[in-house]
């Protein structure tokens, strides 16, 4: 590897990956390309520069911006409108143009440069229509899958890659699935190599959390600075469950994937914190209270938002069996890392996250 291109490289995932790769592979030329669409991404620019990562202001919707980067060996495609709520109540144009057309531009530039691609996809490729119809128990603080579910791709471990893909999944999820399909076609047609990672919730320092994306950071920031929070949907009790993965654990996996790209070429993996790192909003509240010492009066908005789901946990067994990877940072470590980061950079972060 000589040159690594990270699209969305000023965003939460992209900037953290760029800096970690540069730390561990100092001889690599690493380029972070981003159009700074996400509010707060501009704060990562000095950090990229100080860590030896080259920043290129560019837009993946414009293929010439990608052309300008010149030859490279591998792309990690992290640019996106990453909100599952995008397009509901507003236009889906930006979402489609970035996640669909932009992703196609990224593939096309990989073809022209004979470069490989690691693609950041999402658990939201699995149809919410089907996930919503599963049977759930209401426990005291969270939803749980009803025992004895007999459906392909879902078990006590969570959702596996065998979960059926037919059904409505959100516009965001559909754009990501389309991009996945096209990457598979490019791998077959043009001999580029690639891996698809369907991630659950990713989090950690430098995530500019907001109500529609990055809820773990948002929750901690609101507790720390005594902001306002609401449990939205599913009767407003905060019982929705997700698994969460620290960005450093994702980095470890991508590093392995680069090292073993020949063996892993064409693979599709569910990647997340798994059952052990799952949390409901109500449980997250308790943890944030313990860490910050602050208790908020969280309001309820019972009506469920479009594209929400009550429960998602990644079944990581395939990626673990194929690569030996498993996450190392548990929820306590994830939250204490986020808390320390918020405290360290309070002045800079508060105007954005508060």
Ligand X SMILES: NC(=O)c1ccc[n+]([C@@H]2O[C@H](COP(=O)([O-])OP(=O)(O)OC[C@H]3O[C@@H](n4cnc5c(N)ncnc54)[C@H](O)[C@@H]3O)[C@@H](O)[C@H]2O)c1
Pick between residue 100 and residue 130 the one whose CB is nearest to ligand X. Answer: 100
Neighbouring-strand partners of residue 6: 32, 76
Residues in the chain: 354
Residue from 4, 5, 6, 12 touching ligand X (CB under 6 A): that is 12
Does the protein bind ligand X through residue 209 (CB under 6 A)? no
Does the protein bind ligand X through residue 248 (CB under 6 A)? no
Does the protein bind ligand X through residue 309 (CB under 6 A)? no
Task: Choose the binding region for ligand X from 4-12, 140-148, 150-158, 295-303 (rule: CB under 6 A).
Answer: 4-12
Residue from 30, 48, 202, 217 touching ligand X (CB under 6 A): that is 202
Does the protein bind ligand X through residue 278 (CB under 6 A)? no
Task: Choose the binding region for ligand X from 36-44, 274-282, 327-335, 346-354 (rule: CB under 6 A).
Answer: 36-44
In the complex, least distance from residue 209 CB atom to ligand X, rounded to whole angstroms: 9
Does the protein bind ligand X through residue 115 (CB under 6 A)? no
Nearest residue to 82 (alpha-carbon basis) of 62, 59, 99, 64: 99
CA torsion, ordered 30, 36, 38, 42, to nearest 10 deg: 80
In the complex, least distance from residue 318 CB atom to ligand X, rounded to whole angstroms: 17
Does the protein bind ligand X through residue 110 (CB under 6 A)? no
Pick between residue 145 and residue 179 the one whose CB is nearest to ligand X. Answer: 179
Does the protein bind ligand X through residue 183 (CB under 6 A)? no
In the complex, least distance from residue 101 CB atom to ligand X, rounded to whole angstroms: 9
Does the protein bind ligand X through residue 243 (CB under 6 A)? no
Secondary structure in 3-state letters for the chain: CCEEEEECCCCHHHHHHHHHHHHHCCCCEEEEEECCCCCCHHHHHHHHHHCCCEEEECCCCCHHHHHCCCCCCEEEECCCCCCCCCCCCCCCHHHHHHHHHHHHHHHHHHHHHCCEEEEEEEHHHCCHHHHHHCCEEECCCCEEECCCCCCCCEECCEECCCCCCCCCCCHHHHHHHHHHHHHHHHHHHHCCCEEEEEECEEECCCCCCECCECHHHHHHHHHHCCCCCEEECHHHCCCCEEEEEEHHHHHHHHHHHHHCHHHHCCCEEEECCCHHHEEEHHHHHHHHHHHHCCCCCCEEECCCCCCCCCEECECCHHHHHHHCCCCCCCHHHHHHHHHHHHHHCHHHHHHHHC
In the complex, least distance from residue 215 CB atom to ligand X, rounded to whole angstroms: 9
Does the protein bind ligand X through residue 34 (CB under 6 A)? yes
Pick between residue 35 and residue 292 the one whose CB is nearest to ligand X. Answer: 35
Task: Choose the binding region for ligand X from 37-45, 67-75, 281-289, 307-315 (rule: CB under 6 A).
Answer: 37-45
Pick between residue 26 and residue 233 the one whose CB is nearest to ligand X. Answer: 233
Residue from 106, 110, 120, 349 touching ligand X (CB under 6 A): that is 120
Neighbouring-strand partners of residue 32: 6, 55
In the complex, least distance from residue 253 CB atom to ligand X, rounded to whole angstroms: 13
Does the protein bind ligand X through residue 192 (CB under 6 A)? no
Does the protein bind ligand X through residue 17 (CB under 6 A)? no
In the complex, least distance from residue 269 CB atom to ligand X, rounded to whole angstroms: 12
- For 139, 233, 285, 296, 343, the CA distances from 288, given in Å and listed in that order, are 20, 20, 5, 10, 14
Does the protein bind ligand X through residue 122 (CB under 6 A)? yes
Task: Choose the binding region for ligand X from 34-42, 275-283, 300-308, 346-354 (rule: CB under 6 A).
Answer: 34-42
Footprint of ligand X on this chain (CB under 6 A)? Answer: 8, 10-14, 34-38, 41, 59-61, 78-80, 82, 98, 102, 120, 122, 199, 201-202
């Amino acid at each position: 590897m000589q040159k690594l291109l990270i699209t969305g490289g000023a965003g939460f995932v992209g900037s953290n990956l760029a800096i970690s790769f540069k730390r561990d592979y100092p001889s690599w030329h690493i380029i972070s390309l981003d159009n700074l669409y996400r509010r707060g991404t501009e704060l990562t620019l000095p950090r990229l520069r100080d860590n030896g990562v080259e920043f290129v202001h560019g837009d993946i919707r414009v293929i010439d911006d990608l052309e300008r980067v010149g030859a490279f060996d591998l792309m990690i495609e992290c640019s996106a409108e990453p909100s599952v709520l995008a397009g509901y109540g507003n236009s889906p144009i930006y979402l489609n143009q970035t996640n669909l057309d932009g992703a196609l531009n990224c593939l096309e530039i990989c073809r022209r440069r004979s470069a490989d691609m690691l693609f950041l996809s999402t658990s939201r490729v699995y149809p919410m229509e089907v996930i919503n119809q599963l049977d759930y128990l209401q426990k005291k603080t969270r939803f749980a899958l009803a025992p004895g579910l007999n459906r392909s791709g879902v078990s006590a471990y969570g959702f596996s890659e065998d979960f059926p893909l037919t059904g409505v999944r959100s516009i965001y999820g559909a754009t990501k699935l389309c991009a996945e399909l096209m990457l598979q076609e490019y791998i077959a047609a043009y001999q580029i190599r690639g891996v698809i990672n369907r991630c659950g919730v990713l989090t950690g320092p430098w995530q500019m959390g907001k109500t529609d994306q990055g809820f773990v950071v948002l929750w901690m920031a609101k507790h720390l600075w005594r902001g306002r929070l609401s449990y939205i949907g599913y009767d407003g009790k905060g019982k929705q469950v997700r698994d969460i993965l620290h960005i450093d654990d994702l980095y470890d996996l991508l590093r392995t994937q680069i090292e073993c790209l020949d063996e892993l070429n064409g693979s599709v993996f569910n990647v997340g914190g798994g059952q052990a790192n799952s949390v409901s909003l109500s449980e997250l509240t308790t943890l944030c209270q313990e860490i910050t010492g602050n208790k908020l009066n969280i309001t309820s908005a019972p009506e469920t938002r479009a594209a929400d789901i009550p429960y998602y946990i990644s079944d990581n067994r395939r990626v673990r069996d194929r690569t030996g990877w498993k996450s190392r940072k548990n929820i306590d470590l994830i939250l204490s890392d986020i808390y320390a980061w918020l405290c360290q950079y309070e002045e800079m972060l508060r105007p954005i996250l508060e």
